[in-house]
Structure 1
Amino acid sequence: MNPPKITVTKEYEKFSTILGNRIINEKKVENLMADISKGLNLLPYCPVIVFRKDNNLKIVDGQHRFEATKRLELPVHYVECEQLDLKKIASLNSRSDKWKNSDFLECYVRLGIEDYVTLLDFLRKYKIIYSASIDLLMYGNPKAKGSNSMEAFRNGEFEVKFLDKATELVNLTTEIFGRYVFSNDRYLIGAVMELKEAGICDFEVLKNKVSEAPNIMEKKSNIKEYKYLIEQVYNFKNQKRVALF
């Protein structure tokens, strides 16, 4: 297989971005321009990757390099690849550190994939980390063992299957433990899930006990430790201990 040919041009109008490409980070462009202005121009060695469509060059990778080159009125170095849709581009980027989770989410939201729109709304409302939110919505569990949910998310294969369960679980956790900054911790949510499944706890009692003894609860690093604390709170001032799990 022949190596890709690097082409050079100053016809900037030939280039365009793809719907769903990341929004330009002005600071990144400015930093690139500053480096180039100081004599550190590595752009000829890092060509923009494009594919050709309708006589246009669609930028797959290198938006910021292209923008810096254009603003400095320098030649654009680019190589052509086969035509890719946005899902393939996102999948390609999932193999590297180039895209953050927010980039993938924005990409699929802009494509109009409803599951990702739902995820965005869920993240905005509950401020739970990506991996826990994705596991909750895909599997109904904030820490699904052996799941490949993050890979599915990056590849555009994320599906919302447990929205009602996830919403109910997070709302219950917030109702009881909302006073704490760690109330959106995936392990605390997991402990509440197991508490709910056990079917022994009176949640109104637990809520009142949290108010009576707020200092017992603290952030923990796993579900087991949270379960131990919750049981302590539930049995605060009880004469007879109740086992919740």
Structure 2
Amino acid sequence: MDKQIASVYETYDYDKFHIMEKGNREIDHYKKIATQMNEQFLFTVIIVNEKFEIIDGQNRFLASKELHKPIRYIIVEGYGVEQVRMYNMEARNWQKKDFVKSYADEGKKEYVKIMEFQKRYPDFPISICEFFLRMSLTCDYDKKRHLNHSAIRRGLFVIKDFETSCKLADMVMAYKPFCENQSSPIYRRREFVAAIIKLYRCEDFDNELVLKKIKLNPRAFTPCVNSDDYIRMIEDIVNFRSRNKVRFNVYSK
């Protein structure tokens, strides 16, 4: 016979439950869940600790509350923010931004800095902000990509040089005016950001000169497949109507 290891309780007393103010994800999609529940209310449970703080299922809780449906729950003592993250890491419910917020709420300095960077550069999605902050100079899809992705989820992310990352972001943002009619703006693409990070290492790279040359020949600034293609495109832009041709030596670095 199977062993019973937990009991499921049911209640309409919504006030006994608590949403974690810090460390949990943003409450952003319970309205959608409520619409689905209204069509068919399936049996589902939320997990709470002994303080009735919701460990897993806060959006389902709010949706059930809005529809005046019963709350079915399991109590697991000793669970907290760490278990909240573990649940969502395994279930793939959280996005990177949710993990960043959770660790920042705990006061982890690296993650507070990530949120500061995001606030300063709202044009960039979290994946690009991460790219700037670790200042990857490897190829676009390197073997360490999975490990880098895991690091930010596990609270192990390390910022290499915050001020330089901001400088690089400012350089990339300067290309925004040339991307107004693009459905997928070049300046927000990972491959273009990788190209600028690589070019930044070159002593003879002049970002202001590139911008001036684009104004002279805006049609030359077009989407590319990878960072090396963007570098070649930038070389062509710089060499346009120029006697002294340049070649940025970044491929061997």
Q: Could you say whether these structures have the same fold, taking a TM-score greater than 0.5 normalized by the shorter chain as the test?
A: yes
**CA distance in structure 1 between the partners assigned to 2:220 and 2:7 by the alignment:** 65
Partner residue, 2:173: 174
Q: TM-score, normalised by structure 1?
A: 0.82
Partner residue, 1:164: 163
Partner residue, 1:228: 232
CA displacement, residues 201-243 of structure 1 (integer Å, 9 cap, x when unaligned):
3444333222211211112121011011011011101234322
Is 1:243 the counterpart of 2:247 in the alignment?
A: yes
Structure 1 contact 135–144 (Cα < 8 Å) conserved: no
Aligned equivalent of 1:8, options 7, 10, 21:
10
Structure 1 contact 8–78 (Cα < 8 Å) conserved: yes
TM-align CA RMSD: 2.6
**CA distance in structure 1 between the partners assigned to 2:153 and 2:131 by the alignment:** 13
Deviation at 1:63, TM superposition (A): 1.6
**CA distance in structure 1 between the partners assigned to 2:159 and 2:61 by the alignment:** 36
**Structure 1, unpaired ranges of 5+:** none
Aligned equivalent of 2:108, options 109, 113, 118:
113
Partner residue, 1:152: 151
Q: Quick one: which amino acid aligns to residue 18 of structure 1? A: M
CA displacement, residues 49-107 of structure 1 (integer Å, 9 cap, x when unaligned):
1111xxx3111111232233334444321112242231331132022232233333333
Percent of aligned pairs sharing the same letter:
24
**CA distance in structure 2 between the partners assigned to 1:184 and 1:199 by the alignment:** 24
**CA distance in structure 2 between the partners assigned to 1:202 and 1:75 by the alignment:** 63
226-235 or 26-35, which deviates more:
26-35
**CA distance in structure 2 between the partners assigned to 1:184 and 1:70 by the alignment:** 39
**CA distance in structure 2 between the partners assigned to 1:34 and 1:152 by the alignment:** 38
Partner residue, 1:199: 203
56-65 or 124-133, which deviates more:
124-133
Q: TM-score, normalised by structure 2?
A: 0.79
Q: In structure 2, do the counterparts of structure 1 residues 238 and 117 end up closer, same or farther at CA, with 3 Å as the change threshold?
A: same
**Structure 2, unpaired ranges of 5+:** 180-185
Structure 2 contact 137–198 (Cα < 8 Å) conserved: no
Deviation at 1:112, TM superposition (A): 3.4
Aligned equivalent of 1:131, options 103, 106, 127:
127
Structure 1 contact 134–149 (Cα < 8 Å) conserved: no
Q: In structure 2, do the counterparts of structure 1 residues 110 and 41 end up closer, same or farther at CA, with 3 Å as the change threshold?
A: same
Q: In structure 2, do the counterparts of structure 1 residues 154 and 188 end up closer, same or farther at CA, with 3 Å as the change threshold?
A: same
Q: In structure 2, do the counterparts of structure 1 residues 165 and 23 end up closer, same or farther at CA, with 3 Å as the change threshold?
A: closer
Deviation at 1:144, TM superposition (A): 7.8
Q: In structure 2, do the counterparts of structure 1 residues 132 and 64 end up closer, same or farther at CA, with 3 Å as the change threshold?
A: closer
Q: Quick one: which amino acid aligns to residue 65 of structure 1? A: R
Is 1:98 the counterpart of 2:96 in the alignment?
A: no
Is 1:18 the counterpart of 2:14 in the alignment?
A: no
Structure 1 contact 169–193 (Cα < 8 Å) conserved: yes
Could you say what secondary structure the match of 1:95 adopts? helix
Aligned equivalent of 1:49, options 47, 55, 69:
47
Q: Quick one: which amino acid aligns to residue 129 of structure 2? A: S
Structure 2 contact 134–160 (Cα < 8 Å) conserved: yes
Aligned equivalent of 1:79, options 74, 80, 87:
74
Q: Quick one: which amino acid aligns to residue 41 of structure 1? A: F
Q: In structure 2, do the counterparts of structure 1 residues 183 and 4 end up closer, same or farther at CA, with 3 Å as the change threshold?
A: same
Could you say what secondary structure the match of 2:102 adopts? helix
Could you say what secondary structure the match of 2:93 adopts? coil
Q: In structure 2, do the counterparts of structure 1 residues 28 and 107 end up closer, same or farther at CA, with 3 Å as the change threshold?
A: farther
Partner residue, 1:68: 63
Q: Quick one: which amino acid aligns to residue 135 of structure 1? A: F
Deviation at 1:33, TM superposition (A): 4.7
Could you say what secondary structure the match of 2:200 adopts? helix
Q: Which runs of 4+ in 1 moved over 6 A?
A: none
